[in-house]
Amino acid sequence: MKITDILTFYDKILIIFVVLLALALLVIPFYYFASESDAELLLKVQLDNELIKTVPVADSYEKPIVFEVEGLIGTHIIEVNQGRVRVLEAPADDPLKICEKTGWIDREGPIIVCVPNSLSLWLESTDSDIDGMSW
């Protein structure tokens, strides 16, 4: 007994339809959710409730951007490289160095915070749908 003896014409049509539907459902999310906007990510650096620096992250693809921020307990060294941001070095007076241990952030949402130095770093898009955050 062959498989062709069991399957009818309509069974074959149903199988072809299900396979085509499965392929379409695999491709559709890539088409609709592809990010082709002209939005640019900006690094915002805040010290003591004052925005002290804004850096376009796109500038870091050719060569890394490294700068220092002087705070209450010492100097932080910030690195922007390949569209990502991190605290390269925290001051020696920071006991836990949590902001340094946070690592890289590369999208909107995560924030690097150094409480002893009152320093905050985050990425913000020029074309964002987010209208507010709380933490």
- Sign of CA pseudo-dihedral 96, 97, 103, 109: positive
Please tell me the pTM assigned to this model: 0.66
pLDDT tens, position by position, 49-65: 899 999 999 888 889 99
Q: What is the pLDDT of residues 26-51, one digit of tens each?
A: 988 887 776 555 678 899 999 988 99
